[in-house]
Homo-oligomer: A and B are copies of this chain.
Amino acid sequence: MHAAMLRSRVALRVARPAQRAFSSKTIFPNEPTKPSVHTETVPGPASKAASAEIDKIQDPRTHVLVCDYAKSNGNYLVDADGNQLLDVFQQISSIAIGYNVPQLLELGRSDEFITAALNRPALGSFPPKQWAEWLNTGLMTVAPKGLDKLVTTLCGSSANETAFKAAFMAYRQRERGSYDAPFTQEELDSCMVNQKPGTPQLSVLSFKSGFHGRLFGSLSATRSKAIHKVDIPAFDWPVAPFPKVQYPNSQFAKENEAEEARCLQEYEQILIENKKTRPVAAVIIEPILSEGGDRHASNNFYRQLRLIARKHDAFFIVDEVQTGVGATGTFWAHEKWGLQEGDEPDFVTFSKKMQQAGIFHKSETRPNQPYRNYNTWMGDPMRTLQAREIIRVIKEFNLVEHTRKTGEVLTTALTDVFSRHQNLVSNHRGQDVATFQAFDFPSAAVRDAFVGKMRANGVQIGGCGDMSVRLRPTLTFSEPHVNVLVETMDKVLKEI
């Protein structure tokens, strides 16, 4: 079904704000204006044949589409069959600006980038001479307030585990009485056989439905879905409840406040009780629980989490792997919590849209000795250069502000389309976090049917949680894309 046909049949009911200077065409002059699907199914035969070839080597059961990245452009993903889809999922929220950003391709052709890409160093021991400059003109320009130290890593899971390790080490030094206090011989010996006192019985507290990665430490903190965790050994770390907020908040303000208070109380109780058994060295939380179903809580709830963590000697880690880099209308989602100076998180972790993963932290959590939080690559200079260019483009075109404005357009458009499908869609949320919006279906089956039909109609959209859909478009996602999205949704919702 061509979107052109679709467009002609669905009346636009969306109120339009005055024309703004930025349009995705500014960056992507050749970006398509509408989806184009010419196979009977999506994935079509070429995509399916490619998956069958991959099956001989790798697991293809998680494939959605096999893609033609050279032909993809801006907010439009082209698949192996030549279908052209508006992409509001963007590689699980990992593309900041769009496909084939001209500025990034130009970076890719530069000698600086090619040298960095094909001569990957052991950054912790042999950094390139431009390293400080690359960080100071890139990642450090977006360092969260109060956090002026950085460890670069290769992915979000290892970013979180790097923060865990730093927190454990700092926690133990505090217990020893000073940053410089030496280890005992017993500690040095016992840690080699994974026994206390050298291997401490400490924990990381996370929240129900939270997602923090898939490696053994991060997976121990992940609480999203059983299929992520079953059969994998995990640390006996505590989990605290996350508020079950009811929507719209205006209608359930009182209930939601009571629910948050209940969760805060239980959270503090867990921190207290674990002190006797497996003290909590760090608390980790996402500003919006994304994989877990786009679950939100109030700014006050998050402020309290931070203060209560400190009260009980736990470091506070904000996992911005999915929420970071502008998509929520501020560069970091936790900015809107309104934390007081001095109350900033101890760690902010990032990856995905930034391409270079890592943690921002404070000098007090730099390990007291070298080689304690070290590895071979410790990040990747080419991804750091890519991050710098992504940040530069975001700033040049005011893409965070643009996304905030697009969020308003999106809210109006979704509110309108959902008003006609109240039997199917509920819990529209995220109206205060730009385009980072989500909504629920009555069941996983209906949600999956919706996602499949959206794809067949030229929109790649993604699920989360048990029966939710999350919007994760780029920062160049604009009003024309909103129109394509809601027209397609309107059509699909009528068909379900």
Contact = CB atoms under 8 A, between A and B. Distances in A.
A229 interface: yes
Contacts of A374: 62, 214
Contact of A158 (B94, B120, B157): B157
B120 A94 contact: yes
Contacts of A99: 119
Contacts of A367: 59
Given A66-B128, A67-B127, A101-B118, A377 B199 contact: no
A293 interface: no
A198 B226 contact: yes
Interface stretch (A184-192, A398-406, A423-431, A474-482): A184-192
- In the complex, which range does the number of interface residues on chain A fall in? 35 or more
A172 interface: yes
Interface in A315-351: 351
Interface stretch (A19-27, A31-39, A233-241, A297-305): A233-241
A119 B77 CA distance: 11
Given A91-B122, A217-B215, A232-B199, A131 B66 contact: yes
A191 B129 contact: no
B132 A199 contact: no
A237 B132 CA distance: 40
A3 to B, nearest CB: 20
A396 interface: no
A233 B201 contact: yes
Nearest to A60: B127
Contacts of A69: 115-116, 119, 121, 128
A392 interface: no
Contact of A126 (B65, B120, B129, B237): B65
A230 to B, nearest CB: 4
Contacts of A120: 91, 94, 355
A107 interface: yes
Contact of A62 (B109, B124, B192): B124
Contacts of A237: 194
A252 interface: no
A277 interface: no
Contacts of A352: 376
Nearest to A124: B62
A161 interface: yes
Interface stretch (A7-15, A148-156, A260-268): A148-156
Given A191-B230, A220-B216, A57 B140 contact: yes
A145 interface: no
Interface in A149-188: 149-152, 154-158, 161, 164-165, 168-169, 171-173, 183, 187-188
A307 interface: no
Contact of A375 (B91, B121, B214): B214
A496 interface: no
B193 A50 contact: no
A407 B169 CA distance: 42
A183 B230 contact: yes
A395 B157 CA distance: 35
Contacts of A161: 215-216
B135 A377 contact: no
A148 B56 CA distance: 8
B154 A227 contact: no
A438 interface: no
Nearest to A95: B119
A171 B231 CA distance: 9
A217 B101 CA distance: 37
11 contacts: A54-B127, A57-B148, A59-B151, A62-B124, A66-B131, A95-B119, A100-B118, A104-B118, A183-B226, A225-B371, A227-B372
Q: Which 10 A-B pairs have the closest CB atoms?
A: A216-B217, A61-B370, A53-B132, A108-B114, A194-B234, A188-B226, A80-B129, A172-B231, A191-B229, A91-B122
Given A92-B125, A194-B235, 10 more contacts: A58-B151, A63-B126, A65-B125, A70-B111, A92-B376, A99-B119, A165-B232, A215-B217, A225-B371, A351-B376
